[in-house]
Chain A
Amino acid sequence: GNSVTQMEGPVTLSEEAFLTINCTYTATGYPSLFWYVQYPGEGLQLLLKATKADDKGSNKGFEATYRKETTSFHLEKGSVQVSDSAVYFCALSSRENDYKLSFGAGTTVTVRA
């Protein structure tokens, strides 16, 4: 079945630091990969996505590249802000699994001024 493993947190950074959150996956077929973000007290927001190997998803300064050879989809941002403090979830879906989303455990990121 499908599964996602992401780096455990919490992660605490200073403003303007570089952020990386590792994500690896196991899936049958050719999954689509996603990063979702959850701000305190809110639901999930789609941050970025990639639907095939070597695709790069990007949004709000965040980037992630779909690496089929390493089954990875690591999230990066070059210079974080306090407003990036949130919980980040890596997820995948595939046709073979009826497009149900499988989520990682989530990584809590705190950015200090």
Chain B
Amino acid sequence: KAGVTQTPRYLIKTRGQQVTLSCSPISGHRSVSWYQQTPGQGLQFLFEYFSETQRNKGNFPGRFSGRQFSNSRSEMNVSTLELGDSALYLCASSLELAGIHEQFFGPGTRLTVL
């Protein structure tokens, strides 16, 4: 079974631009969560989508948004990029069945904002 895939793996953008990252979950997984990883703040929860609906949201500004499609694939968007948005963005999918909430992570997208 294929794991969680994320595209692109690397991105370089400049301040003020916007960016869209994509995540394809493990087949059959309906929950997709996004995390931001930085050296200073560590791993922080961004949001979670389940059945095309945002179910949970972390403490990030409105510039960070996401969506989920009917095939469970998810995208996250960051508008008006700031230098501090440089990070590794990780996506995780979960089966959400019979109390199983284990999350499986993708390789991440490394975003650099210049």
A107 to chain B, nearest CB (A): 12
User: Are A100 and B33 closer than 8 Å at their CB atoms?
Assistant: yes
- The number of residues on chain A lying at the interface, defined by a beta carbon within 8 Å of a beta carbon of chain B, is 20
User: Are B56 and A46 closer than 8 Å at their CB atoms?
Assistant: no
Which of A13-21, A37-45, A62-70, A75-83 is near enough to bind chain B?
Answer: A37-45
Is A32 part of the binding interface, using a Cβ–Cβ cutoff of 8 Å?
A: yes
- CA separation between A103 and B41, bound complex, in Å? 11
For residue A42, which residue of chain B has the nearest CB? B107
Q: Is the interface of B mostly helix, strand, loop or mixed?
A: strand
- CA separation between A106 and B35, bound complex, in Å? 15
User: Are A43 and B55 closer than 8 Å at their CB atoms?
Assistant: no
**B residues less than 8 Å from A106 (CB atoms):** 42-43
- CA separation between A102 and B101, bound complex, in Å? 13
Is B90 part of the binding interface, using a Cβ–Cβ cutoff of 8 Å?
A: yes
- CA separation between A46 and B103, bound complex, in Å? 8
Q: Contacts A32-B101, A100-B48; is A105 near B55 (CB within 8 Å)?
A: no
- CA separation between A34 and B104, bound complex, in Å? 12
Name A's B-contacting residues (CB within 8 A). 32, 34, 36, 42-46, 49, 89, 93, 98-106
